[in-house]
Amino acid sequence: MVIHESAENYLETILILSKRQGYVRSIDIATELNFSKPSVSVAMKNLRQKEYITVDNGGNISLTDTGLKIAESVLERHQIITSFFVALGVDPEVAAEDACRMEHVISEESFDALKKHVAKL
Query: Residue 105: how many CA atoms within 13 Å on its side-chain side?
Result: 5
The predicted-structure confidence for 9-32, as pLDDT tens digits, reads as follows: 999 999 999 999 999 999 999 999
In this predicted structure, what is the pLDDT of residue 2? 63
In this predicted structure, what is the pLDDT of residue 120? 83
In this predicted structure, what is the pLDDT of residue 102? 92
Q: Which residues contact 118 (CB under 8 A, 6 or more apart)?
A: 80, 83, 84, 87
The predicted-structure confidence for 60-116, as pLDDT tens digits, reads as follows: 999 999 999 999 999 999 999 999 999 999 999 999 999 999 998 999 999 999 999
Q: How sure is the predictor about 1, in pLDDT bands with cuts at 50, 70 and 90?
A: low
Alpha carbons 14 and 9: distance in angstroms, whole number: 9
